[in-house]
Each structure stands twice: as C-alpha cells, then as structure tokens.
C-alpha cells in the first residue's frame, strides 16, 4: 500500500552543540559582584568595586575563585 510520503518530524541524531552564554566584556567581567567587600587594608580611594580590591580576592572565601583561576590559566604560555 502506497500513500503520501512525509518527511520525518524528528531531528536527525548527530553531534549537538550547547550554546554558551555570551562572555561579559573584559572591562566589566570582575567588577561590581554581589559579593564584593572592600579590603579595608587598602586606601579608601581604591574602592572602585573591582574584584582585585575585594577582601575575598584569590582566597578560598571567594565564591568565584574558579573564574579567576581559569582567567590566569588563559594567560600562561603554552
């Protein structure tokens, strides 16, 4: 019995790529995080809300330490 043919309604199996969220611009990537806490050992004039002046910067208390370490690894020579 022959009838009208229709293309399959499913997507063919194959490698899938997961869309990555867009990267933040470099100048705002480590700026004004919700966890920012100014390091009072620095001069108050340095309080510009950049992570490098945060009390938790590059410590185990930093909730974003993995991002910082990934950023440093990107700079290492191959």
Tell me, yes or no, if the pTM score tops 0.85: no
Establish if 14 belongs to a structural domain. no
pLDDT value at position 56?
95
Q: In the chain, how many domains are there?
A: 1
In a domain, 9, yes or no: no
Range of the domain at 59: 28-75
Q: Is residue 21 part of a domain?
A: no
Residue 2 has pLDDT above 70, yes or no: no
- Residue 65 pLDDT exceeds 80: yes
pLDDT at 27: 66
**Residue 49 in contact with residue 30, Cβ under 8 Å?**
no
For residue 23, being part of any structural domain is answered with no
Residue 36 falls inside a structural domain: yes
pLDDT class of 67 with cuts at 50, 70, 90: confident
Residue 7 resides in a domain: no
pLDDT: which is higher, 26 or 17: 26
For residue 22, being part of any structural domain is answered with: no
- Asked if the structure places residue 69 within a domain, the reply is yes
């Amino acid at each position: 019995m022959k009838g009208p043919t229709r293309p399959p309604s499913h997507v063919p199996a194959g490698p899938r790529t997961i869309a990555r969220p867009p990267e933040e611009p470099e100048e705002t990537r480590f700026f004004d995080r919700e966890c920012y806490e100014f390091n009072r050992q620095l001069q108050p004039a340095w309080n510009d809300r950049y992570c490098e002046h945060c009390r938790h910067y590059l410590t185990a208390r930093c909730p974003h330490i993995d991002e910082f370490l990934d950023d440093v690894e990107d700079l290492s020579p191959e």
